[in-house]
């Protein structure tokens, strides 16, 4: 095993990881900072895939209070209000930093102000964007800035375990597999940031990048950290549905399409959303996904078993101009987005749940910080489109500042060597002899059971069965043996590690979903269809697979109140 030391270790190079690196370096340029990432820096994760854009209250007629209220109401009153407040206020600073310091070009109005477009679930058009491929602009500029600084990189290094000190009182470092050689690497660090980006890739239809398999959340669960709101998985209404032969199926068609006035049609080519919600297609993602699920359940579907997205009534030329990237993506799969119909299906997109954390990004484990999609509490029961990249960049920067301050007085700590040995032993399991079943069959089992029993509509029977199925799947994975003992880029080994983590986090989702006996935001129970009292809202906190319900603190505004003086 190779061993390295660094002051600050950042896991992941999305918006959260790269902002943390830049801010820590700016705060203390003498620190050794290492970004370790499963893929290549600047080329992986979901921030790069951001399409629609970034929510921020910039316009004179808008306000951070209004953005805050939209976030709280959209989150069905489950948000940690201090985190949400930090999100909306610091998003203003962060977007200026992205433009003025880091060199991002966002779309502008003729008068030179930044153009902001409509996103569903918001009372004001506040989504900053670069066409419909905003994330590429953000990540390219961030990566360039990181490359230009003395920041170390461990690329194609997969974090496999958070390692504590022997007494367990703090984090000592992280164990990795160097994917290029298969060698184990232990990195000791004074502070570690978990920014591996969650990613609900355990569902049959999903949007996140393939490198994301809930590794950070699984490591946090194994380290005994509390995770909140794990039952809250967001389904995006418009996943592309292009058949089983293509991995384009499940990828997202951006929210701005519905924001701009796109229609959803059923198999009979009839618009159905107004029957479900007065906001029609511009209702929040949870409502639209559920309405679609219901329409699909009636059997009135498109050829591949989904529904249609229709934009042509807005003018094909305008659609082609405003949504160039989306039009090209659909054309690649044989659909004419500008002038025809595109088959769509709800698709698992985002996890509102994650590691519990404080507004300075500290966690229950001293020395461990969290930011971005690995963290929980910012979005409550439902994330507004455009608040995801704001979340990762805002809290990534906060974490960078906080870690730089913290490591000044911290030393490197000795790791629990027995814990390293145990983690290596766990990774080595599939190299032993065992069953030779095709790993794809395990993946399909996971996809189907999560989609059917822990998906858009849930009930007690299905959730109980899902837990039993997940336990059986975990045991089957433990009995699995790899076809090749080669370690260099052994992607089947990494798939096995991915599946182990996905199953662990899926169990947390199923257990939390069984504990929440009401319907709220993204979590819908057909056996408890009503939402409980907003005033007595509780969030789920899961630790070592035991759930407790904790009261939400209404630190800034209580249900029935608003921070807005003039409500439109």
Ligand X SMILES: Cc1cc2nc3c(=O)[nH]c(=O)nc-3n(C[C@H](O)[C@H](O)[C@H](O)COP(=O)(O)OP(=O)(O)OC[C@H]3O[C@@H](n4cnc5c(N)ncnc54)[C@H](O)[C@@H]3O)c2cc1C
Give the C-alpha separation, 158 to 40, whole Å.
11
Asked if 469 is part of the footprint of ligand X (rule: CB under 6 A), the reply reads no
Piece of the chain touching ligand X by CB under 6 A; list 33-41, 334-342, 460-468, 487-495: 33-41
Q: What is the smallest separation between the CB atom of 526 and ligand X, expressed in angstroms?
A: 28
Piece of the chain touching ligand X by CB under 6 A; list 1-9, 190-198, 289-297, 512-520: 190-198
User: For residue 494, how many other CB atoms are within 10 A of its CB?
Assistant: 17
Handedness of CA 20, 24, 29, 31 (dihedral sign): negative
Give the C-alpha separation, 494 to 484, whole Å.
12
Can you tell me which of 259, 388, 400, 462 binds ligand X, judged by CB under 6 A?
A: 388
Asked if 178 is part of the footprint of ligand X (rule: CB under 6 A), the reply reads no
Transcribe 237-287 into DSSP letters: EEEE---TT-TTTT-B--THHHHTT-EEE-TTS-B-HHHH-TTGGGS-HHH
Can you tell me which of 7, 14, 344, 401 binds ligand X, judged by CB under 6 A?
A: 14
Residue with smaller CB distance to ligand X, 404 or 502: 502
Give the C-alpha separation, 497 to 557, whole Å.
43
Piece of the chain touching ligand X by CB under 6 A; list 2-10, 66-74, 192-200, 351-359: 192-200
Asked if 53 is part of the footprint of ligand X (rule: CB under 6 A), the reply reads yes
Residue with smaller CB distance to ligand X, 105 or 408: 105
Asked if 94 is part of the footprint of ligand X (rule: CB under 6 A), the reply reads no
Q: What is the DSSP letter of 6?
A: E
Copy the structure tokens of residue 283.
Answer: 């209702």
Per the annotation, the verdict on 475 as an active-site residue is: no
Piece of the chain touching ligand X by CB under 6 A; list 144-152, 191-199, 336-344, 525-533: 191-199
Give the C-alpha separation, 62 to 123, whole Å.
9
- CB contact at 8 A, 97 and 120: no
Here's the x/- map for ligand X, 122-151, by CB under 6 A: it reads as ------------------------------
- CB contact at 8 A, 562 and 246: no
Residue nearest to ligand X (CB): 14
Asked if 50 is part of the footprint of ligand X (rule: CB under 6 A), the reply reads yes
| Subset of residues 227 to 286 that bind ligand X, contact rule: CB under 6 A | 252, 254
Residue with smaller CB distance to ligand X, 76 or 95: 95
Q: What is the smallest separation between the CB atom of 29 and ligand X, expressed in angstroms?
A: 23
Give the C-alpha separation, 393 to 137, whole Å.
13
Asked if 6 is part of the footprint of ligand X (rule: CB under 6 A), the reply reads no
Tell me the sheet residues that pair with 34.
9, 152
- CB contact at 8 A, 195 and 20: yes
Per the annotation, the verdict on 271 as an active-site residue is: no
Residue with smaller CB distance to ligand X, 95 or 419: 95
Asked if 13 is part of the footprint of ligand X (rule: CB under 6 A), the reply reads yes
| Helix residue spans in 97-192 (DSSP H) | 134-147
Residue with smaller CB distance to ligand X, 185 or 287: 185
Asked if 201 is part of the footprint of ligand X (rule: CB under 6 A), the reply reads no
Closest listed residue to residue 127, CA positions, set 466, 307, 388: 388
Per DSSP, the three-state class of 314 is helix
Q: What is the smallest separation between the CB atom of 501 and ligand X, expressed in angstroms?
A: 8
Closest listed residue to residue 80, CA positions, set 553, 564, 559: 553
Piece of the chain touching ligand X by CB under 6 A; list 141-149, 383-391, 443-451, 543-551: 383-391
Residue with smaller CB distance to ligand X, 212 or 516: 212
Q: What is the smallest separation between the CB atom of 379 and ligand X, expressed in angstroms?
A: 9
Can you tell me which of 62, 156, 215, 401 binds ligand X, judged by CB under 6 A?
A: 215
Asked if 373 is part of the footprint of ligand X (rule: CB under 6 A), the reply reads yes
Distance between start and end Cα atoms, the chain: 62
- CB contact at 8 A, 302 and 308: yes
Return left, alpha or beta for 494; rule: phi > 0 is left, psi -120 to 50 is alpha, else beta: alpha
Please tell me which residue in 67, 158, 236, 383 is annotated as part of the active site: 236
Asked if 346 is part of the footprint of ligand X (rule: CB under 6 A), the reply reads no
Residue with smaller CB distance to ligand X, 12 or 415: 12
Closest listed residue to residue 314, CA positions, set 284, 343, 339, 342: 339
Asked if 204 is part of the footprint of ligand X (rule: CB under 6 A), the reply reads no
Asked if 196 is part of the footprint of ligand X (rule: CB under 6 A), the reply reads yes
Residue with smaller CB distance to ligand X, 301 or 393: 393
Closest listed residue to residue 131, CA positions, set 158, 162, 104, 163: 104
Measuring CA to CA, how many Å separate 312 from each of 254, 265, 328, 339? 16, 12, 15, 5
- CB contact at 8 A, 17 and 29: no
Copy the structure tokens of residue 376.
Answer: 């929980």
Residue with smaller CB distance to ligand X, 196 or 519: 196
Can you tell me which of 75, 131, 197, 239 binds ligand X, judged by CB under 6 A?
A: 197
Please tell me which residue in 258, 329, 443, 458 is annotated as part of the active site: 258
Counting residues that bind ligand X (by CB under 6 A) gives 42
Q: What is the smallest separation between the CB atom of 216 and ligand X, expressed in angstroms?
A: 6
Q: What is the DSSP letter of 429?
A: G
Burial class (CB in 10 A: 0-12, 13-18, 19+), 5: middle
Piece of the chain touching ligand X by CB under 6 A; list 57-65, 313-321, 384-392, 426-434: 384-392
Give the C-alpha separation, 151 to 42, whole Å.
14
Q: Which residues are catalytic?
A: 236, 258
Q: Which chain residues interact with ligand X by CB under 6 A?
A: 11-17, 36-39, 44-47, 49-53, 158-159, 195-197, 207-208, 211-212, 215, 252, 254, 350, 372-373, 385-390, 392
């Amino acid at each position: 095993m190779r061993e390295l030391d660094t002051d600050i270790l950042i896991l992941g190079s999305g918006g959260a990881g790269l902002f943390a690196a830049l801010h820590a370096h700016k705060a203390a340029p003498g620190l050794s900072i290492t970004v370790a990432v499963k893929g290549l820096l600047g080329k992986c994760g979901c921030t790069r895939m951001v399409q629609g854009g970034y929510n921020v209250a910039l316009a004179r007629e808008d306000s951070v209070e209004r953005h805050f209220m939209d976030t709280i109401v959209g989150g069905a009153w489950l948000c940690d209000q201090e985190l949400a407040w930090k999100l909306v206020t610091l998003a203003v600073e962060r977007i200026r930093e992205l433009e003025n310091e880091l060199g991002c070009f966002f779309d502008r109005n003729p008068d030179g102000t930044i153009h902001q477009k409509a996103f569903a679930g918001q009372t004001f058009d506040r989504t900053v964007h670069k066409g419909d491929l905003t994330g590429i602009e953000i990540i390219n500029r961030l990566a360039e800035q990181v490359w230009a600084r003395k920041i170390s990189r461990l690329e194609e290094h997969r974090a496999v375990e958070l390692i504590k000190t022997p007494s367990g009182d703090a984090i000592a470092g992280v164990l990795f597999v160097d994917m290029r050689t298969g060698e184990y690497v232990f990195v000791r660090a004074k502070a570690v940031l978990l920014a591996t980006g969650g990613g609900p890739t355990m569902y049959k239809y999903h949007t996140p990048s393939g490198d994301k398999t809930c590794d950070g959340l699984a490591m946090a669960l194994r380290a005994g950290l509390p995770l909140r709101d794990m039952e809250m998985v967001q389904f995006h209404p418009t996943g592309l549905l292009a058949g089983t032969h293509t991995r384009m199926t499940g990828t997202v068609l951006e929210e701005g399409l519905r924001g701009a006035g796109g229609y959803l049609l059923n198999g009979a080519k009839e618009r159905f959303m107004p029957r479900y919600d007065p906001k029609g297609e511009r209702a929040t993602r949870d409502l639209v996904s559920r309405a679609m699920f219901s329409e699909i359940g009636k059997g009135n579907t498109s050829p591949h078993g989904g529904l249609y997205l229709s934009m042509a009534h807005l003018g094909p030329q305008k659609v082609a101009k405003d949504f160039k990237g989306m039009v090209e993506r659909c054309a690649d799969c044989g659909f004419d987005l500008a002038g025809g119909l595109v088959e769509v299906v709800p698709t698992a997109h985002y996890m509102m749940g994650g590691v519990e954390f404080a507004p300075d990004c500290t966690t229950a484990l001293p020395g461990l910080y969290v930011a971005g999609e690995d963290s929980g509490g910012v979005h409550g029961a439902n994330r507004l489109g455009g608040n995801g990249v704001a979340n990762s960049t805002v809290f990534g920067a906060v974490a960078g500042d906080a870690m730089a301050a913290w490591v000044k007085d911290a030393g490197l700590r000795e790791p629990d060597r027995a814990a390293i040995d145990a983690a290596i032993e766990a990774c080595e399991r599939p190299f032993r002899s065992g069953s030779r079943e095709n790993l794809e069959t395990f993946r399909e089992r996971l996809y189907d059971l999560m989609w059917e029993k822990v998906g858009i509509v849930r009930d007690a029977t299905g959730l109980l069965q899902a837990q039993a199925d997940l336990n059986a799947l975990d045991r089957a994975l433990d009995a699995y043996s790899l076809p090749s003992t080669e370690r260099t880029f052994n992607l089947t080994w990494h798939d096995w590690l991915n599946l182990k983590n996905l199953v662990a986090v899926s169990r947390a989702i199923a257990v939390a979903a069984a504990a929440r006996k009401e319907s709220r935001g993204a979590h819908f129970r057909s056996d408890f269809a009503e939402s409980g009292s907003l005033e007595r809202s509780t969030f789920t906190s899961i630790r070592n697979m035991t759930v407790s319900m904790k009261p939400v603190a209404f630190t800034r505004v209580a249900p029935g109140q608003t921070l807005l003086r003039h409500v439109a």
